[in-house]
Structure 1
């Protein structure tokens, strides 16, 4: 068809991290314009982040709908606008003094449509009402408090309610306005970015760059979780409309403390950072740019034969690949866009491919910096705890617990599989499932390792066989990390909290390496990259 581009996708021959020209905020306190990843932000957190700084990145990743509802997800099946966004300026701007070792001062941002016109970059909000700002209190009436260190959040599942496509256009317009006004500035040269997160008992370092998109069947980038259509539709609409990757996914690889990791540690120890940000969770975030082509080539030579596991960002990686197919089908592709075969050098491989053939990612050597794997709990609204426990007694040993603290200690000490049920009426520990019922419920075409995971047993046995429910976004609510938050939600909804132990890292790696995927929301690797330290736009990339 005339005007339709080459739909054949480039096929990478190994793990590759391409440099890009980062887009960064020109503000006095970079921490105040950052946020957690979009799927860890509750409604109350959206408002707190908006109140923390007029240019907080939450305006881009969770844009406010015309009705004023922040955090309103896209409806399942809506794939947003495929029309390219009007071109953003690709002219580099001078980074601010606080984030540039050469001491240049940023230009003062001018007022621009879509941006809070009167607020200076220092983070002091203007006294006058600002366009699109929300009131201090969220619609639920909960006070707008800042996210607390270690605080768990209830994930808003995208696809659960209607949302106007205009909110994605609003994110695009805000992004363009901030680029035009100097709120966002573009680094002069393409770079791989060394990223460090440091806090009490926490040190993690890795590389942020454009990861070359590979089919999971190739065994280069391995997903380990299933995905849902609603979040993919939401992120696709946002990426397609903004023509940007606004937050990195999180990848782990076994780097054997090789060349890439050695360089990462050397840069962090000897070079001045571009950005230093102290966030309210107690972490200090630092960012450095690697622009030397020889160093970038050495990194990619080290990475080429390795595998990466998606630790966080399954929906975004799936979205990257859907967007890649969409763009190849609708746009003329640049000459030489096919990624060369394995005989090509890292530099020549970087030269190939369009911006949609790559996605923003943080890559961390899990041997040098072992991840922290936490549990993700479930809440079943409308399933009263007495009913849940009574039904469970036909297949599990059910033991009453004094309170949640005692129950969590008992869960931690119990042999797998085990679950803790909690609600307004008390706490119960489930152990020792009936082996015959369990064997009949678990799929015969899955590996023994997969069938032994607590999330697999929950989705295949407890939910459908014991309670007659399906593990979907409408039936099951997700709560990250905090069992007390899960209990509170269960009480509020007249339901039951199902508390789990975290999976073992080795189990996750083995399942992924075998080509299987654990059930949705099985893992929470950390620390997750902070959103807003560096962005990527396709026009500039």
Structure 2
């Protein structure tokens, strides 16, 4: 992501990626590497997904990233005890020397993604070498900070993207060469993704990668809450310290484009009938009697012409589009660029949630953010709530707004594939 031609506000000092001693599962001590991994903490669909992962293996990483206890303090203390026990028992063992890690994901549909995992120095205020693109929920940041504070560990790498040179560059060359060697680990998770991990420990290789990355600017693709957590925790510790760094996966999307999906909303206390009634006279609404895939295709077609949403929860789908322009002018803030004002997520939060449905977006008791489309619909139908399905935002829109310093509404996008949790951890005590 070059900054030539942009204002001084987008100036940056580049990415400083540092080797670390990765903490990894001993494959001889667990049932299988696949059984101890998990999606990122915010993708695990509670409670079903959490219970499934906990039962998959007694050492599944969810016992660290989503500990279960009666109070938040008890949960964090439990995670810290679990980590100490697993270290003492050799379930998790540190690699013998610091390194960067090349991480690969493959899928049967032809997807191939490779990137570099390392400890990234957190930019100073005013340094825009890492660009966020979404707002965060402060209670989630506080929750993640308490967990990291109690465990002194980064359990999951953030997903960052950058645009490398089109021609082979030092980082891409190092990544491709690493992928030709036998991996440290290889496993296939139950979603069908195949994962491989290599370490880069040679001083010359590390130096080439670090020098190359120092020329680039990154976009946070996934992990805004953990990024905010990193910064909060750094502020609590005098520098220099291990808290000056955070665990990240950097992917060059010039070579390995990510996929962008929507994150859907589940409104717990709003039945579909009430939601539709509140839209009368403000949006065009029509029933879509079709399977989920066809309904999503209808949503995609409608989204080409403007804001569109798909409501579910009563056994059918309802296309909501063509909002009243006068309503939007009254409810959508005008202090942001046009590209932000016309986002589906902006209209959803500013107009539908705040103005028509009166649903507080910060309350987990009223709204959940779910990545899996079918799971969102199923939960709405089971619980009597309303599923609000969104169409994905184009990646170029996300990047353009981030470069302007404009953040999108929280949980607007889901970049992927996301790194599996549990393949390599970072403990600050090392």
- CA-atom RMSD in angstroms: 1.7
Distance 2:196 2:52 in 1: 23
Q: Secondary structure at the match of 1:457?
A: helix
Q: Can you list the C-alpha shifts for 1:478-529, whole angstroms capped at 9, x where unaligned?
A: 22131x3222222233222111101111111111111011111111111100
* 8 Å CA contact retained: 2:155, 2:426: yes
1:287 aligns with 2:197: yes
Once the two structures are TM-superposed, the CA of residue 382 in structure 1 deviates from its matched residue by 2.4
* 2:136 aligned residue (218, 227, 234): 227
Q: What residue in structure 1 maps to residue 26 of structure 2? A: 26
Bigger drift between 385-394 and 241-250 goes to 385-394
* 8 Å CA contact retained: 1:210, 1:359: yes
Q: Can you list the C-alpha shifts for 1:315-335, whole angstroms capped at 9, x where unaligned?
A: 11110111111122xxxx5xx
Q: What residue in structure 2 maps to residue 501 of structure 1? A: 391
Once the two structures are TM-superposed, the CA of residue 239 in structure 1 deviates from its matched residue by 0.7
* 1:411 aligned residue (299, 318, 326): 299
Structure having the higher Rg: 1
| 1:259-278 paired onto structure 2 within 5 Å | 259-268=170-179, 270-278=180-188
* 2:264 aligned residue (377, 393, 408): 377
1:422 aligns with 2:332: no
Q: What residue in structure 1 maps to residue 362 of structure 2? A: 472
Q: What residue in structure 2 maps to residue 398 of structure 1? A: 285
Distance change >3 Å, CA 19–CA 524, structure 1 → 2 = same
1:13 aligns with 2:17: no
Q: Secondary structure at the match of 1:437?
A: helix
* 8 Å CA contact retained: 1:63, 1:168: yes
Q: What residue in structure 2 maps to residue 511 of structure 1? A: 401
* 8 Å CA contact retained: 1:249, 1:361: yes
Q: Secondary structure at the match of 2:237?
A: helix
Q: What residue in structure 1 maps to residue 215 of structure 2? A: 305
Distance 2:93 2:247 in 1: 18
Residue correspondences, number: 408
| 1:34-433 paired onto structure 2 within 5 Å | 34-41=37-44, 42-65=46-69, 67=70, 163-200=71-108, 201-215=110-124, 217-257=126-166, 258-268=169-179, 270-328=180-238, 333=239, 337=240, 354-405=241-292, 406-414=294-302, 415-424=305-314, 426-433=316-323
Once the two structures are TM-superposed, the CA of residue 215 in structure 1 deviates from its matched residue by 4.5
Q: Secondary structure at the match of 1:356?
A: helix
Distance 1:237 1:389 in 2: 40
Gaps of 5+ in 1: 1-11, 68-162, 338-353
* 8 Å CA contact retained: 2:102, 2:116: yes
Once the two structures are TM-superposed, the CA of residue 174 in structure 1 deviates from its matched residue by 1.8
Distance 2:372 2:378 in 1: 13
* 8 Å CA contact retained: 1:172, 1:242: yes
Distance 2:164 2:221 in 1: 15
Q: Secondary structure at the match of 1:168?
A: helix
* 8 Å CA contact retained: 1:215, 1:221: no
TM-score by length of 2: 0.91
* 8 Å CA contact retained: 1:38, 1:62: yes
1:481 aligns with 2:372: yes
**Which structure has greater helix proportion?**
2
Gaps of 5+ in 2: 1-11
Once the two structures are TM-superposed, the CA of residue 26 in structure 1 deviates from its matched residue by 0.6
Distance 1:283 1:419 in 2: 30
* 8 Å CA contact retained: 2:43, 2:370: no
